[in-house]
Chain A
């Protein structure tokens, strides 16, 4: 796939003098010759690329199809019947993953921001808050997510506490939020620290209080700068919503699991996997687009 970047002619300055209606410019023979040569070279390059791709594709196909065990692999992983059976159930399950992503994503952004701000607070009163926030990020960034999930989803219901839910979806979402808030807090903190001290000095010189300087000058710049890594963490959270299935919640992964358990055919896992991939690709492309757009906006003119 070729990605063609549209170059928008930004800036008020006039482009090269070409579009001028009164310019009696006629391309010279030299230029026409040069451009013809460039075109023929481009055509040859395209032909070679197409041929080469075709040959590689055929070779790969032959290698795979003639590999020992391919018929069995095809039957176990790529069985059309099971794929058709699994697909609607997996999609139904995926709706749960999407809802988890939306709710957890919002909770993670809020909690992460609170923790990051808590770590930058000054003054002796806030010492315990600073220490707690630091301990939180250290702990939950180190704790494997799967252990966190097992403790919360499987361990908490074992306590039989009154008024505490045993719903695996709520508990799983809580565990995801706990871990991801720690990551996102670090992303925000890095952003806050990347804003040059002169910006804070300028804000304070205008009479803004420490809190106002943070709110109006530091945080907006920090958040903007951290959009790409934040979206990256959201993509990661999106796949990890599949882990709530360990508690028995019927999401896309569990829906596939149920069919696999019954049929001993692994095609439904492949289907569920591909559905997740299909869901993350737009997110990743969106991340790339946002990053590129920000780079353009921050650019100080000029094309390099």
Chain B
């Protein structure tokens, strides 16, 4: 928590004692998290440790059982909150892209700006073109997602999330479905977003990337944040035995 207390700005996202169960299995227990503006938080941990669920809870796609979540000092887990309004301020990029297959890339991107934010068509398209060009997809605006490679689809999904100018971007293992040679192009985009000052929380298995880009790293194990700190702390001198064991396995698998 050292980082959050020294940061003068109010956190964009704050979680306190969040608990989430699916039936009898406890997926998150007593999770605290603070994400300062313009910082990147990486969630690492084995499959099933609760990374994806944590992101889905932050976006209210899952209802938490206990605890509370704040977005910019507004408690979004209050049952009276307008959930659609909360989601409007948070962009999400999914592992499987989840582009809409019946729409072109341009239609995918302009859907929310037009229908949710009431932007007119021309304005929405201009903004989309600017983002597509920046992410090297300028020529793909009128293609259907099926015609794109995995890396292109994921970049299109990132553009879609950015088109509504979100306050916070959640990335759920965005490279896990990609061929190794396509991982780099997506991670490059995330790096650029960090340089632009986007606040992001990302669940990832790319440890090298997490070490490079993250201001804060949280190691999740069995639904709790077992250890958190700067990238140097977690990857350089982890305090917990389980963190050390996890990282050792990653190194052995050649992924760090």
Contact B115 A216 (CB under 8 A): yes
Contact B92 A205 (CB under 8 A): yes
A220 at the interface (CB under 8 A from B): yes
Contact A208 B115 (CB under 8 A): yes
B87 at the interface (CB under 8 A from A): yes
Known A-B contacts A201-B98, A220-B102; A207 and B146 likewise in contact (beta carbons under 8 Å): no
Known A-B contacts A198-B94, A298-B146; A208 and B102 likewise in contact (beta carbons under 8 Å): no
Contact B102 A301 (CB under 8 A): no
Q: Could you tell me which residues of chain A, from 34 to 70, have a CB within 8 Å of some CB in chain B?
A: none
- Chain B residue nearest in CB terms to A12: B147
* Residue interface bits A203-222, CB-to-B below 8 A is 1, else 0: 11111110010001100110
A202 at the interface (CB under 8 A from B): yes
Which of the residues A198, A208, A220, A300 comes within 8 Å of B112, measured between beta carbons?
A208
Hey, which chain A residues are within 8 Å of B90, CB to CB? 205
- Interface size on B (CB < 8 Å)? 26
- Chain A residue nearest in CB terms to B99: A202
B61 at the interface (CB under 8 A from A): yes
Contact B84 A202 (CB under 8 A): no
Hey, which chain A residues are within 8 Å of B117, CB to CB? 207
Hey, which chain A residues are within 8 Å of B146, CB to CB? 298-301
B23 at the interface (CB under 8 A from A): no
Known A-B contacts A207-B116, A212-B116, A300-B146; A224 and B84 likewise in contact (beta carbons under 8 Å): no
Known A-B contacts A199-B98, A220-B102; A208 and B61 likewise in contact (beta carbons under 8 Å): no
Q: Could you tell me which residues of chain B, from 76 to 95, have a CB within 8 Å of some CB in chain A?
A: 84-85, 87-88, 90-92, 94
Known A-B contacts A221-B101, A224-B102; A207 and B94 likewise in contact (beta carbons under 8 Å): no
Which of the residues B59, B88, B101, B111 comes within 8 Å of A216, measured between beta carbons?
B111
Hey, which chain B residues are within 8 Å of A201, CB to CB? 61, 94, 98
B164 at the interface (CB under 8 A from A): yes
**Contacts across chains A and B counted by CB atoms under 8 Å:** 63
Contact A205 B59 (CB under 8 A): yes
Known A-B contacts A205-B87, A206-B160, A207-B88; A198 and B98 likewise in contact (beta carbons under 8 Å): yes
CA–CA, A203 and B102, complex, Å: 13
B96 at the interface (CB under 8 A from A): yes
Hey, which chain A residues are within 8 Å of B96, CB to CB? 198
Hey, which chain B residues are within 8 Å of A207, CB to CB? 84-85, 87-88, 112, 116-117, 164
CA–CA, A300 and B115, complex, Å: 29
Known A-B contacts A216-B111, A216-B115, A301-B147; A205 and B61 likewise in contact (beta carbons under 8 Å): yes
Contact B115 A202 (CB under 8 A): no
CA–CA, A217 and B88, complex, Å: 17
CA–CA, A221 and B147, complex, Å: 17
A222–chain B nearest beta-carbon distance, Å: 10
Contact B116 A208 (CB under 8 A): yes
A253–chain B nearest beta-carbon distance, Å: 41
- Chain B residue nearest in CB terms to A215: B115
Contact B164 A206 (CB under 8 A): yes
CA–CA, A193 and B98, complex, Å: 17
Q: Please give me the 3 A-B residue pairs with the lowest Cβ-Cβ distance, nearest first.
A: A207-B88, A202-B98, A206-B112
Task: Name 22 interchain pairs, CB-CB below 8 A, sorted by A.
Answer: A198-B98, A199-B98, A204-B61, A204-B84, A204-B87, A205-B61, A205-B87, A205-B91, A206-B161, A207-B85, A207-B88, A207-B112, A207-B117, A209-B84, A212-B116, A217-B111, A221-B101, A221-B102, A224-B102, A298-B101, A300-B146, A301-B146
Excluding A207-B85, A207-B164, A301-B146, 10 further A-B contacts by CB distance (< 8 Å) are: A199-B100, A202-B94, A204-B61, A205-B90, A206-B88, A207-B87, A208-B116, A212-B115, A216-B111, A220-B102
